[in-house]
């Protein structure tokens, strides 16, 4: 028996495992939020799959079925939103999704119905359809969603396409979802906020809005489509780092321009606010690199919900204007 | 609290749950092996999702990682074959698949690699590609596969299209997969068979061959494409019943013509052989309804691997020629 026969998945970690599994995929399909498949000369298919596991991604576990921190409707909404965000991140228009559900027989039917109501609400809002899927019995509730969309081949947004001299533009604010989670985990902190701010942050966490509105605007203002980017589901800092690494460039971020939500800025310390904005994750906004004039037009079209936060640089470091730290280096320490 | 709030999934069963979940899908997408999405006037997308759960679908459970009855390569092959069979059942040509994998950290990396080797072998044999997917940590190994293909809108094979007067044609034999499972579960029975038969039956179970070769032949011999049908993954009897119910017709099956594999016929009792052939399942062959002349041509093109086993009748019963039993009624009792 070879020694590596006993090597476990835990021992090599997620990145180690992905490196092995990527060998089984054509290399041009790897490295973005979704795979782009050249289907016809006038359109490519874009496909993405996400797996959510009970107790890991959306609840306190089936062992205590009454203590879900997220309602089944919100689980459904967020699952669809995450997948549609992956499509938006590629510049694609969604068509539909399939759902692979494995569930314990002890699960209340009403929970499943409410899950599907949440899925459907999000699908409806984005004119997308549930195509079907599979349901099977299991001891552990697991939801696997595959979303399919399409994009014109020359209008794909990729991480590797950041160009030196382009600005870095983010849609919306960042950190609101993390702030909402804080309020759900520590309900007593609700009293530190006014009602409007409270509701806004909770909603940011429970009902994130994938930015499917952005690609059509980009196609309009930039017909030559010089755009790079991805979504910020794993955090704003992560998105900037991924884009810079994939494109072989660096980034200079203006610390004053960080998209910290007003409700967060006026609630927690500046350090906490910055941390949530850079590393909170699950805001499902887009982080884009594009020419300055286009970014300014995009900002205007979005009614100023979005801003330029820095620029793509030739030096490989990722610098915050008020810090000597390289974000790329410091990321591991958070 | 409404009384139904406590109703569990186990209480209403799979069919009850599906009935509820179907309300969330457009009705025209329901009822076949895969959903057909009208994408462009010259082609439709076909999409199908299957979820496999450790301990339910492919092993004795992670609790005893060394007693898998199916090798990881075979788990991978069978998972892909089942999905590609769903595409073949719709008359579609496959493009690619995504894999959503949730797995325990204790799983050996070599198991995952071997799973992907099995997936890839089957994909390669059918010129299909792994597009990517998602890997996440979980206490239970679960594999969710989504396969996408395409078909011309007028060349879709549907369950509801059986026409009175058409014959019922099955590709290949049925019952070999069930026989192979018997040999895996009871290795001592191997001595009851010659080596060639033994290997053939084991292979039928471990390496089923989805019938992607059949739709191109149908398009060639039946340009007007008068074909109904589905695959026989849940058994030959189930396929006949599903087709008849969906089409509002009946079927007369010639008991002498049942596609019992030679290796099974010469091994077990006639009753056991018939049972495996009708109800064994997982043969991943196609059960088609089409005009007799086309069926005869198809049989010839397939080198006689496939045969006419009966015809579509106006009376709603499903009759075996040598029995008074209605297969539709007796099915529940097996």
Q: Is the pLDDT of residue B168 over 90?
A: yes
Do residue A136 and residue B52 have CB atoms under 8 angstroms apart? yes
Shortest Cα distance, chain A CAs vs residue B300, angstroms: 34
What HEC string does A253-320 produce? ECHHHCCCCHHHHCCCCHHHHHHHHHHCCCCCCEEEEECHHHHHHHHHHCCCCEEEEEEEECCCCEEE
- A303: contact with B, CB 8 A cutoff: no
Q: What percent of chain A stands above pLDDT 90?
A: 83
Chain B 63-102, CB below 8 Å of chain A: which residues?
95-96, 98-102
In the predicted structure, residue A65 carries a pLDDT above the cut 50: no
Contacts B96 to A, Cβ<8 Å:
37, 47
Please judge whether A109 and B148 are an interchain contact, meaning their C-beta atoms are less than 8 angstroms apart: no
Residue among A19, A93, A100, A111 with most chain B CBs within 10 A, to mutate: A100
C-alpha separations of B128 from A49, A50, B4, B98, B212 in Å: 18, 21, 45, 11, 11
**B18: closest chain A residue by CA:** A135
pLDDT digits (tens, 9 = 90+) for A100-154: 999 999 999 999 999 999 999 999 999 999 999 999 999 999 999 999 999 999 9
Which residues on A lie below 8 Å from B53 (Cβ)? 102, 136-138
Alpha-carbon distances, residue A176 vs A188, A292, A300, B183, B325 (angstroms): 18, 26, 22, 58, 65
Structure letter (DSSP) for residue B193: S
Average pLDDT taken over every residue of chain B: 91
Task: Provide the angle, in degrees to the nearest 10, between the axes of the packed helices A72-89 and A195-206.
Answer: 70
DSSP class of A92: P
Q: 10 Å Cβ neighbour count for A211? A: 24
DSSP state of B308: E
> What does the alpha-carbon distance between residue A253 and residue A44 come to, in Å, rounded to a whole number?
33
Q: Is B277 annotated in some ligand binding site?
A: no
pLDDT band of residue B329 (cuts 50, 70, 90) is: low
Tell me the CATH number for domain A11-153.
Answer: 3.30.1330.10
Top-tier CATH class for B32-154: alpha beta
CA-nearest residue of chain B to A119? B24
**pLDDT of B2 over the 80 cut:** no
Query: Is the Cβ of A112 closer than 8 Å to some Cβ of chain B?
Result: yes
Paired residues of B136 in beta bridges: B102
Q: Which of A45, A109, A119 lies closest to B17 in CB terms? A: A109
For residue A73, the chain B residues in CB contact (below 8 A) are none
Report CB contact under 8 Å: A106, B52. no
Q: Give SS3 for A203.
A: helix
Q: Which two tokens stand for residue A311?
A: 């620029």
pLDDT at A334 over 90: no
Average pLDDT, stretch A196-225? Answer: 96
Q: Assess contact for B205 and B8: CB atoms under 8 A.
A: no
CA B260 to CA B274: how far, in whole Å?
7
Q: Could you tell me how many CB contacts below 8 A there are between chain A and chain B?
A: 232
Rounded Cα gap, residues A284 and B156, in angstroms: 38
Interface residue B106 vs chain A (CB under 8 A)? yes
Which carries the bigger pLDDT value, residue B171 or residue A329? B171
pLDDT for residue A69: 63
Q: Using a pLDDT cut of 90, give the percent of chain B over it.
A: 83
Alpha-carbon distance A13 to nearest alpha carbon in chain B (angstroms)? 8
Q: Which residues of A touch B105 (CB under 8 A)?
A: 8-10
- Chain B CB contacts of A56 under 8 Å are 136-138
The arithmetic mean of pLDDT across residues B244-273, rounded, is: 96
Q: With 50 as the cut, is the pLDDT of residue A83 above it?
A: yes
% pLDDT > 70, chain B: 93
**Closest among B247, B272, B250 to B327, alpha carbons compared:** B250
State the virtual CA torsion across A321, A323, A327, A330 in degrees, nearest 10.
-170
pLDDT of residue A33: 87
Q: Is A33 annotated as a binding residue?
A: yes
The residue of B20, B49, B54, B57 whose CB has the most chain A CBs within 10 angstroms, and thus the best one to mutate to test that interface, is B49
Confidence of residue B327 (pLDDT cuts 50, 70, 90): confident
Asked if B109 and A148 come within 8 Å (Cβ–Cβ), the reply is: no
Query: Which pair of structure tokens corresponds to residue A288?
Result: 């884009």
Tokens 């006639």 map to which residue?
Answer: B270
Interface test with B, best of A22, A90, A96, A131 (most B CBs within 10 A): A131
* pLDDT over 70 (residue B126): yes
For the segment A222-226, the average pLDDT, to the nearest whole number, is 91
Helix, coil or strand: residue A219:
helix
Domain boundaries, chain A: 11-153, 157-333
**Higher model confidence: residue A40 or residue A98?**
A98
pLDDT at A59: 65
The confidence score (pLDDT) of residue B40 equals 84
| pLDDT confidence of residue B15 | 87
Residues of chain B positioned with their CB less than 8 A from the CB of A14:
135, 137
Please check the confidence at residue B165 and state whether its pLDDT lies above 50: yes
pLDDT of the residue at B113:
96
Residue A255 near chain B (CB below 8 Å): no
User: Buried b vs exposed e over A43-78: b needs ≥16 C-beta within 10 Å?
Assistant: bbbbbbbbbbbbebbbbebbeebeebebbbbbbbbb
- Is B49 annotated in a binding site? The answer is yes
Model confidence band, residue B324 (pLDDT cutoffs 50, 70, 90): confident
Q: Do B134 and A50 touch (CB under 8 A)?
A: yes
Pairwise CB contact (< 8 Å): A120 & B24: yes
Q: How far is B14 from chain A (nearest CA, A)?
A: 8
The interface predicted TM-score (ipTM) is 0.90
Mean predicted lDDT score pLDDT of chain A: 91
Domain B157-333 belongs in CATH node 3.90.650.10: yes
The 3-state secondary structure of B261-298 reads CHHHHCCCCHHHHHHHHHHCCCCCCEEEEECHHHHHHH
How far apart are the C-alpha atoms of A173 and A191, rounded to whole Å? 23
State mean pLDDT over A247-271.
96
Q: How many angstroms away from the CA of B72 is the closest CA of chain A?
A: 13
The answer to whether residues B79 and B145 touch, using CB atoms and an 8 Å cutoff, is yes
pLDDT of residue A4: 63
Is there a shared CATH topology between the A11-153 domain and the A157-333 domain? no
Residues 136-195 of A with CB under 8 A from B: 136-140, 142, 144, 146, 148
CB contact under 8 A, B9 and A45: no
Establish if A14 touches chain B: CB-CB under 8 angstroms: yes
State residue A129's pLDDT score: 95
* The pLDDT of residue A280: 94
- Count Cβ neighbours within 10 Å for each residue of A80-112 and write b for 16 or more, e otherwise: bbbbbbbbbbbbbbbbbbbbbbbbbeebbbbbb
Min CA distance, A259 vs chain B (Å)?
Answer: 29
Q: What is the mean pLDDT of residues A275-301?
A: 97
Q: What pLDDT digit, counting tens, does each position of A153-188 carry? A: 999 999 999 999 999 999 999 999 999 999 998 999
Task: Quickly state the pLDDT bin for B38 (edges 50, 70, 90).
Answer: confident
What tokens were used for A271? 């350090």
């Amino acid at each position: 028996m070879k020694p590596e026969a006993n090597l476990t998945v835990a021992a090599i970690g997620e990145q180690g495992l992905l490196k092995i599994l990527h060998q089984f995929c054509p290399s041009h399909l790897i490295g973005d939020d979704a795979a782009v498949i050249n289907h016809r000369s006038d359109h490519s298919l874009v496909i993405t799959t996400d797996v959510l596991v009970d107790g890991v991604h959306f609840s306190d576990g089936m062992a205590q079925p009454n203590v879900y921190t997220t309602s089944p409707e919100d689980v459904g909404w967020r699952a669809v939103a995450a997948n549609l965000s992956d499509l938006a991140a590629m510049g694609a228009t969604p068509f539909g999704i399939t759902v692979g559900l494995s569930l314990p027989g002890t699960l209340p039917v009403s929970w499943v119905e409410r899950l599907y109501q949440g899925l459907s609400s999000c699908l409806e809002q984005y004119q997308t359809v549930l195509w079907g899927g599979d349901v099977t019995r299991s001891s552990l509730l697991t939801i696997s969603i595959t979303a399919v969309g399409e994009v014109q081949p020359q209008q794909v947004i990729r991480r590797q396409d950041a160009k030196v001299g382009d600005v870095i533009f983010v849609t919306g604010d960042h950190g609101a979802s993390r702030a909402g989670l804080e309020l759900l985990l520590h309900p007593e902190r609700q009293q530190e906020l006014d009602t409007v701010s409270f509701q806004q942050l909770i909603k940011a966490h429970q009902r994130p809005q994938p930015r499917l509105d952005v690609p059509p605007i980009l196609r309009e203002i930039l017909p030559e489509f010089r755009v790079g980017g991805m979504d910020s589901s794993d955090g704003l800092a992560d998105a900037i780092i991924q884009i810079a690494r994939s494109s072989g460039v660096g980034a200079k971020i203006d610390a004053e321009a960080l998209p910290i939500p007003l409700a967060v800025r006026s609630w927690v310390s500046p350090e906490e606010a910055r941390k949530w904005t850079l590393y909170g994750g699950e805001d499902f906004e887009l982080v884009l690199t594009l020419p300055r004039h286009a970014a300014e037009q995009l900002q205007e079209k979005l009614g100023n919900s979005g801003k330029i936060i820095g620029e793509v640089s030739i030096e490989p470091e990722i610098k915050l204007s008020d810090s000597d730290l390289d974000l790329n280096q410091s990321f591991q320490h958070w």
